[in-house]
Amino acid sequence: MIAVDIILDGAFAAVAAIGFGAISDPPLRAFPRIALLAAMGHALRFCLMHFAGLDIATASLFAAMSIGFGSLALGRQVRCPMTVLYIPALLPMIPGIYAYRTVFSLVMLLQSLSDGAQELRYMQAFFLNATITCSVVFMLAVGATSPIFVFKRRAFSLTRRNRRQVKNK
């Protein structure tokens, strides 16, 4: 049952990544790799949060790093830079529910200014959700970008043909 949950989580993340990626006009050759990276990253975050007890921001950091390293490994085959593969793969990990609760708390805060207890409750909920949303988005971007700093030369030459192809030309 747990395995089914993990696989379903990965599968839905893959569909989400393909759809959100399609908005940004990626090359068709990149789609299978985007789906694979999104499934791997989201399933990893699911496992880290449910089985290792990590919080959402730390789990997102590790999942984003795995997507970053994955895009470094898969980019050369399709001559795509890392960002083309990892940005769509990261999108299913955007903490939408927390973002929604931030907006909802703000609306309710402004609607309950005359009620002191409610006001404080919504103010607290607003800051809590806004902090989680911003932390997760920042961790996602930093985690996926970090492999560039470690493997600079490889990351900067993913769109180059390999040496054999250049020599044969």
Contact residues: another protein, CB under 8 A:
9, 12-13, 15-27, 30, 42, 79-81, 83-84, 87-88, 90-92, 94, 96-97, 99-104, 106-108, 111, 137-138, 140-142, 144-145, 156-161, 166, 169
Nearer to another protein, 51 or 100 (CB): 100
Residue from 138, 147, 130, 21 nearest 82 by CA: 147
Nearer to another protein, 7 or 97 (CB): 97
Nearer to another protein, 15 or 52 (CB): 15
- Could you give the CA distance from residue 71 to residue 102 in angstroms, rounded to a whole number? 32
CB of 76 to another protein, least distance (A): 11
CB of 107 to another protein, least distance (A): 5
Element (H, E) at 66: helix 56-78
CB of 131 to another protein, least distance (A): 15
Nearby residues of 123 by Cβ (< 8 Å), 6 or more positions away = 105, 109
Nearer to another protein, 24 or 52 (CB): 24
Contact between residue 136 and residue 98 where contact means Cβ atoms under 8 Å apart: yes
Chain mean position to CA 129 = 18
Nearby residues of 88 by Cβ (< 8 Å), 6 or more positions away = 17, 18, 20, 21, 24, 26, 34, 38
Q: What six digits make up the tokens of 164?
A: 């054999």
CB of 137 to another protein, least distance (A): 6
Nearer to another protein, 51 or 138 (CB): 138
CB of 28 to another protein, least distance (A): 8
